[in-house]
Amino acid sequence: MQFSMFTDYPLIFVVIWLLTLSFYLIKSIGRIRKITKGAKAASLDQILENILSRQTIEAKQVAQFVNKLDNINDRQKKFLTKHALIRFNPFEDTGGDQSFALSLLDSENNGIVISSLHSRSGTRFYAKQVSNAKPTSHPFSKEEKEVVEKAARQSSN
């Protein structure tokens, strides 16, 4: 039995074509099994509809998380994230830097400044409101102004 060269080409072509189609068929079946893994639906259409509905639900959840994160970021601006402390000696007759000024500010430079003046007869505390790194009703002392400016220069990341 001899084969001629011209009659063998169609046979070789058909064998190569069948091998190529078999390869792509096996690859496609593997992908479908991967997609439908654990699915209890009867048809591929139902499985794909389930996937799309889950994707829609997850997209809504992501949107809710983004809204919550934006809300948290807005509230975070009101947190006291900037602070500074300066110790000083306001009187010549007392020793040491036992007096202090403490500034606590939010990201918009609003907050409070607390001062403590220590003398031989006692210690007095003062608190002043700060708005945009400036006093709201009572003027700042030199140390209070310095501590508020120091805190306002900080970044509030």
**Model pLDDT for residues 64-107, shown as the tens digit of each residue:** 999 999 999 888 888 888 999 999 988 776 667 889 999 999 98
Q: Which residues contact 10 (CB under 8 A, 6 or more apart)?
A: none
Query: What pTM, to 2 d.p., does this model score?
Result: 0.59
Find the mean pLDDT for residues 128-155: 93
For the beta sheet containing 134-135, the strands, ordered from the edge strand earlier in sequence to the opposite edge, are 82-88, 99-105, 111-119, 122-131, 134-135
Q: Which residue would you say has higher pLDDT here, 119 or 104?
A: 104
Residue 139 per-residue DSSP state: P
Report the half-sphere exposure of 109 (CA within 13 A, side-chain side). Answer: 16
Instruction: Say which amino acid occupies 59.
Output: A
Measured distance CA(1)–CA(155) in Å, rounded: 91
Domain boundaries along the sequence of the chain: 1-35, 41-76, 82-152
Helices (H), the chain: 5-35, 44-76, 142-152
Supply φ then ψ for residue 99, to 5 degrees.
-90, 155
**Model pLDDT for residues 36-51, shown as the tens digit of each residue:** 777 776 677 887 888 8
**Is the pLDDT reported for residue 3 higher than 60?**
no
**Model pLDDT for residues 20-29, shown as the tens digit of each residue:** 999 999 999 8
